[in-house]
Chains A and B, each alone.
Chain A
Amino acid sequence: GPKVLQIPSHQIIDMGQMVTLNCDPVSNHLYFYWYKQILGQQMEFLVNFYNGKVMEKSKLFKDQFSVERPDGSYFTLKIQPTALEDSAVYFCASSFQISNERLFFGHGTKLSVL
């Protein structure tokens, strides 16, 4: 079936550095999402994105976070600068419509901030 790919699987960085998480969504999908899961906790919505713009973001989407998808390439989540509390698994998802249909998820990128 359709797949969402996330690169890398695991990223280790020092606090204060910048990190970019990459997502290759399903090819004909138009809506993109990031979710965050801290170890042992629920996965939580961060942001959704359509037509080059953020549609909605949660309170977890700090000012240090940004998303973009330049020219239909990767959908990226950038954190600059990183903080210890950013350590989590970040899941990318995509969907064809913005309705309440299913989302297709990637396998996640584990971010470890030291």
Chain B
Amino acid sequence: AQSVTQPDARVTVSEGASLQLRCKYSYSATPYLFWYVQYPRQGLQLLLKYYSGDPVVQGVNSFEAEFSKSNSSFHLQKASVHWSDSAVYFCALNYNQGKLIFGQGTKLSIKP
């Protein structure tokens, strides 16, 4: 059965430091993968998506993610975080006609 796992419920990094948020998936076919971000009191916003092709995908606000079929992973990365990146990040797999499976989310906190 398909699944998405975000192993880190909370991540804290210093402003200006690099960031990696982990996402592992389980799916037998070609995955359609997404990273969404949720800022306080706002809806989910799409950061980036992967359908096929180049395994490194660029998103908004200098985020990028790397798809690895061998590792069944889709980790989110950013070279230098800003305090405004504080939010909850969700990895998701679209497995059939708009049905998404979400990870449990990773709450990112930025230290000044």
Contact = CB atoms under 8 A, between A and B. Distances in A.
Interface of A: 3-4, 6, 9, 31, 33, 35, 40-45, 48, 55-56, 91, 93, 95, 98-108
Contacts of A44: 102
Contacts of B100: 35, 43, 45, 103
Residue of B32, B90, B100 ringed by the most chain A CB atoms within 10 A? B100
Interface residues of B, number: 25
Chief secondary structure at chain B's binding surface: strand
Interface of B: 4, 32, 34, 36, 41-46, 49, 51, 90, 94-105
A102 B46 contact: yes
Given A55-B97, A100-B97, A103-B94, 12 more contacts: A3-B43, A35-B100, A43-B90, A43-B102, A45-B99, A45-B100, A91-B44, A98-B97, A102-B46, A105-B45, A107-B43, A108-B43
A107 B42 contact: yes
Contacts of A48: 97-99
A42 B43 contact: no
Contacts of B95: 100
A100 B90 contact: no
Contact of B43 (A4, A31, A41, A102): A4
Contacts of A99: 97
Contacts of A9: 41
A43 B100 CA distance: 9
